[in-house]
C-alpha cells in the first residue's frame, strides 16, 4: 500500500498552529516493518534526532500493534507535525476488549500502554464498539550544534 504525503500548497501560508506536514498510510497486521520505516522517515523529516527518533518509531509501532492485534483488517496511520510537536493517530477496525471478570486489559496490551506512557508526552486509546483509535504526541527537542561541524546522525535509508 502506497503512503500518501501532503505539504501545504506552494506559496500558501501555513495556518498558525495547524499541521505543517501530513503523512498517511494504510496497513495490515503483517506490515509492521513498513510502518516502522514510514514512521522513521517522517520522524527524520520532522527533525526528531538522537533518542527521540527511535522512541517515536517505537511509539508508532506499538500504537499500530494495538489496533491490529485482535483481528485482521485494514488500519490507517496518520503522522503530522505542528509547531514543536509531532502527532500520530492510528485508526483501525478492531476493538480492544477487556478481560472478562477482571475488567483489565491483557498483559500484552498493558505492556504496550506502559511503553506509550514512557516514551510519549501524551497518548490516548479509545476503543468503541466498531473501532479503535490511538492518538499520541511528542515534543520535538532541537539538538545543539556539534562544535566540530559534523552531523550527529545520518539520514535513514
- CA 148, CA 157: separation in Å to the nearest integer? 24
Q: Give yes or no for residue 5 having a pLDDT over 70.
A: no
pTM (2 d.p.): 0.73
Burial zone of 20 (CB within 10 Å; 0-12 exposed, 13-18 middle, 19+ buried) = middle
C-alpha to C-alpha distances, 115 to 43, 107, 128, 149, nearest whole angstrom: 18, 12, 22, 34
| Domains of the chain as residue ranges with CATH | 20-139 (3.30.565.10)
For the chain, report the end-to-end CA distance as a whole number of angstroms: 19
Q: What is the pLDDT of residues 17-60, one digit of tens each?
A: 556 668 999 998 889 899 999 999 999 999 898 899 999 999 99
Say what the pLDDT of residue 69 is.
Answer: 77
Mean pLDDT of all residues in 59-70: 88
Say what the pLDDT of residue 24 is.
Answer: 92
Amino acid at each position: 500500500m502506497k503512503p500518501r504525503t501532503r505539504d501545504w500548497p506552494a506559496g500558501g501560508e501555513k495556518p498558525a498552529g495547524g499541521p505543517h506536514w501530513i503523512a498517511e498510510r494504510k496497513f495490515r497486521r503483517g506490515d509492521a516493518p513498513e510502518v516502522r520505516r514510514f514512521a522513521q522517515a517522517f520522524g527524520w523529516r520532522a527533525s526528531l534526532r538522537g533518542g527521540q527518533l527511535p522512541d517515536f518509531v517505537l511509539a508508532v509501532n506499538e500504537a499500530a500493534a494495538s489496533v491490529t492485534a485482535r483481528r485482521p483488517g485494514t488500519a490507517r496511520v496518520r503522522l503530522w507535525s505542528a509547531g514543536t510537536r509531532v502527532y500520530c493517530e492510528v485508526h483501525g477496525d478492531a476493538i480492544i476488549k477487556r478481560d472478562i471478570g477482571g475488567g483489565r486489559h491483557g498483559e500484552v496490551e498493558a505492556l504496550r500502554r506502559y511503553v506509550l506512557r514512557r516514551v510519549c508526552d501524551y497518548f490516548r486509546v479509545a476503543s468503541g464498539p466498531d473501532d479503535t483509535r490511538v492518538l499520541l504526541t511528542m515534543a520535538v527537542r532541537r539538538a545543539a550544534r556539534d562544535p566540530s561541524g559534523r552531523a550527529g546522525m545520518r539520514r535513514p535509508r
